[in-house]
Amino acid sequence: MNKVQNLIILVLTVVISMTAAGIAAQNNTNSPYTRYGYGQLQDQGFSVSQSMGGISYGLRSNATINPGNPASYSAIDSTSFLFEFSASGLLSSFSSGGATRNTFTGNLDYIALQVPVTKWMGLSAGVIPFSFVGYNYNFNDSVKNAGGETDHGYTGYTQAFNGKGGISQVYLGLAFDLFDHLSLGANAYYMFGDITHYRTLAFESTDILANSTVSTSELYISSFNARFGLQYHETVGDKHAFTIGAVYEFKSPLGGKLTESTSGVDTVTTSSVESFELPDTYGGGFTYTYDGRFTIGADATYQAFSSAKYYGVTDSLSNRLKLSLGAEYVNDPRGHRYVDRMHWRLGASYSDSYVRVNGATAKDFAVTLGIGLPLRNSKTMINFDLKYGNIGGANQALLNEQYVQLGINVALNETWFVRSKVR
DSSP string for residues in 4-41: HHHHHHHHHHHHHHHHHHHHHT------GGGGSTT-EE
The one-letter code for the residue type at 269 is: T
Cβ–Cβ < 8 Å for 165, 193: yes
In 3D space, the residue among 144, 42, 137, 145 whose CA is nearest the CA of residue 88 turns out to be 42
Q: What's the pLDDT band for 322 if we cut at 50, 70, 90?
A: very high
150 confidence band (pLDDT: 50, 70, 90): very low
Backbone region of residue 91 per phi and psi (left: phi > 0; alpha: psi in -120 to 50; beta: other values):
beta
- For residue 242, how far is the Cα from the chain centroid? 26
List C-alpha distances in Å: 357 to 95, 354, 393: 15, 10, 11
Distance CA 87, CA 82 (A): 17
Q: Give the per-residue pLDDT at 29.
A: 74
Whole-angstrom distance, CA of residue 251 vs CA of residue 278:
5
**Cβ neighbours, 10 Å, residue 286:** 19
Q: What pLDDT score was predicted for residue 389?
A: 96
Residue 178 CB partners (closer than 8 Å, separation 6+)? 184
Whether 264 contacts 212, CB under 8 Å: yes
| Choice among 49-58, 229-238, 259-268, 361-370 with the minimum mean pLDDT | 259-268
- Provide the whole-model pTM: 0.88
Judge whether residue 374 has pLDDT over 80. yes
For residue 2, pLDDT beyond 80: no
Give the residue extent of every domain in the chain. Answer: 3-73+126-349
Sign of CA dihedral 122, 125, 130, 133: negative
Instruction: Measure Cα distances from 245 to 85, 300, 326 in Å.
Output: 24, 11, 15
Q: What are phi and psi for residue 108, nearest 5 degrees?
A: -75, 130
Q: Are 172 and 43 spatial neighbours (Cβ–Cβ below 8 Å)?
A: no
274: confidence class by pLDDT, cuts 50, 70, 90: confident
**What values do phi and psi take at 43, rounded to 5?**
-65, 150
Do the beta carbons of residue 305 and residue 315 sit within 8 Å? no
Query: Mind listing the pLDDT tens digit for each residue in 90-103?
Result: 999 988 777 788 98
User: With 80 as the cut, is the pLDDT of residue 210 above it?
Assistant: no
Q: Is the pLDDT of residue 10 over 90?
A: no
